[in-house]
């Protein structure tokens, strides 16, 4: 991690949730770092879905700019047939186990994407395997947002939101869960790579009882500050974090033009929470 010695700790802001075009964001790693510097963030984590490949380009660039970039990743898991997103921080991004797990997740995604394309064909939405392979030239991880984007470009839907709410969203008619990792499998990988494990955007799981069940797994922390999540919801997760002695994370879940209503840095954590996760000594 780059030195934080020149940072004013009272004004410290770390956005620990962002995506590049290595997954379903629109910015390159360099563009994302430039953007973070421009808006005055003190630290950033790139948390692409199922890949850490953005760091190959991001680490030397952050070092050159004297910017504090911390390692991160977002994995999908299934628990009781529901999608749970898990963030890993501070992991050794060169760990071979991490790379083999990312490859496994990506191949699971490919199978799942093909199954979703089959379902979409029933509605005469013609998206070919080749269309997805084209996307793989730019994106390491291809998922539902990319499929939604193709549907928009081909004029099958009027918006990404429509693609999700009618066809691709969890449980919708063209949704496929696919063969996905369990929560324990993801936790094990992140911990073997010396990372800390956080439950991402718990409010998207909607039901509080389910969140409590999910948190019975060996999480280190919970994402309490998220995108434009209302303050009262944040308070709920902060309370749970305190009761269970969990670490606190937060970030914007920035996806660039893929989610234009969410600006980088709209959620962030203070130096106090940041230093508990990354054991910073000044």
Q: Distance (Å, rounded) from C-alpha 179 to C-alpha 201?
A: 22
Q: Quick one: 164 or 237, whose CB is closer to ligand AMP?
A: 164
Q: Which of 13, 85, 112, 140 binds Fe ion (CB under 5 A)?
A: 85
What does 164 interact with, of Zn ion, ligand AMP, Fe ion, none (CB < 5 to 8 A by kind)? ligand AMP
Residue 144 to residues 23, 153, 202, 209, Cα–Cα distance (Å): 11, 14, 20, 27
Binding to Zn ion by CB under 5 A, coded x per residue (else -) over 10-39, reads --------------x---------------
Task: Tell me which of Fe ion, ligand AMP, Zn ion, none is bound by residue 42, counting a contact when its beta carbon lies within the kind-specific cut-off of 5 to 8 angstroms.
Answer: none
Give Rg (Cα) of the chain: 18
Kindly tell me which of 14 and 148 has the beta carbon lying closer to ligand AMP: 148
Label residues 234-258 b or e (16+ Cβ within 10 Å = b): beebeebbeeeebbbbbbbbbbbeb
Q: How far is the CB of 39 from Fe ion (least distance, A)?
A: 18
Per-residue binder mask for Fe ion (CB under 5 A), 194-213, x = binder: ------x-------------
- CB under 6 A: which stretch of 33-41, 89-97, 139-147, 232-240 binds ligand AMP? 139-147
Based on the shown chain and the rule CB under 5 A, indicate whether residue 223 belongs to the binding site for Zn ion.
no
144 touching Fe ion, by CB under 5 A: no
Q: Which of 248, 277, 254, 253 is nearest to 1 (CA)?
A: 277
Least separation, in Å, of the C-beta of 254 and Fe ion?
8
User: Which of the residues 203 through 262 are near ligand AMP (CB under 6 A)?
Assistant: none
Size of the site for ligand AMP (CB under 6 A): 10
Helix (H) or strand (E) holding 83: strand 82-89
> Strand 43-45's sheet: what is its strand order?
14-15, 43-45, 68-70
Give the bridge partners for 170, in sequence order.
Answer: none
CA separation (Å) from 207 to 8, 168, 254? 38, 21, 24
Per CB under 6 A, residues contacting ligand AMP are: 24, 49, 76, 143-145, 160-161, 164, 169
Per CB under 5 A, residues contacting Fe ion are: 74, 85, 200, 253
């Amino acid at each position: 991690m780059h030195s934080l010695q020149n940072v004013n700790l009272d004004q410290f802001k770390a956005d620990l949730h962002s995506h590049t075009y290595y997954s379903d964001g629109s910015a390159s790693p360099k563009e994302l770092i430039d953007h973070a510097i421009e808006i005055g963030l003190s630290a950033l984590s790139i948390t692409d879905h199922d890949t850490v490949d953005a760091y190959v380009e991001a680490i030397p660039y952050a070092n050159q700019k004297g910017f504090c970039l911390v390692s991160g990743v977002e994995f999908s898991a299934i628990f009781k047939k529901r999608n749970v997103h898990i963030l890993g921080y501070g992991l050794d991004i060169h760990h071979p186990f991490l790379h083999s797990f990312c490859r496994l997740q990506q191949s699971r995604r490919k199978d799942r994407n093909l199954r979703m394309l089959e379902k979409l064909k029933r509605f005469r939405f013609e998206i070919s395997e080749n269309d997805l392979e084209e996307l793989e030239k730019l994106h390491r991880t291809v998922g539902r947002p990319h499929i939604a984007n193709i549907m928009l470009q081909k004029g099958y839907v009027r918006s990404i939101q429509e693609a999700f709410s009618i066809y691709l969203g969890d449980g919708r008619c063209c949704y496929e869960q696919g063969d996905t990792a369990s929560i324990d499998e993801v936790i094990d990988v992140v911990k073997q790579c010396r990372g800390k494990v956080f439950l991402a955007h718990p409010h998207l799981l909607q039901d509080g009882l389910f969140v409590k069940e999910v948190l019975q797994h060996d999480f280190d922390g919970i994402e309490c500050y998220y995108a434009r999540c209302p303050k009262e919801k944040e308070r709920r997760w902060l309370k749970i974090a305190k009761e269970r002695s969990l670490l606190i994370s937060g970030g914007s879940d920035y996806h660039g033009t893929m989610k234009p209503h969410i600006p980088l840095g709209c959620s962030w954590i203070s130096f106090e929470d940041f230093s508990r996760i990354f054991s910073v000594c000044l």
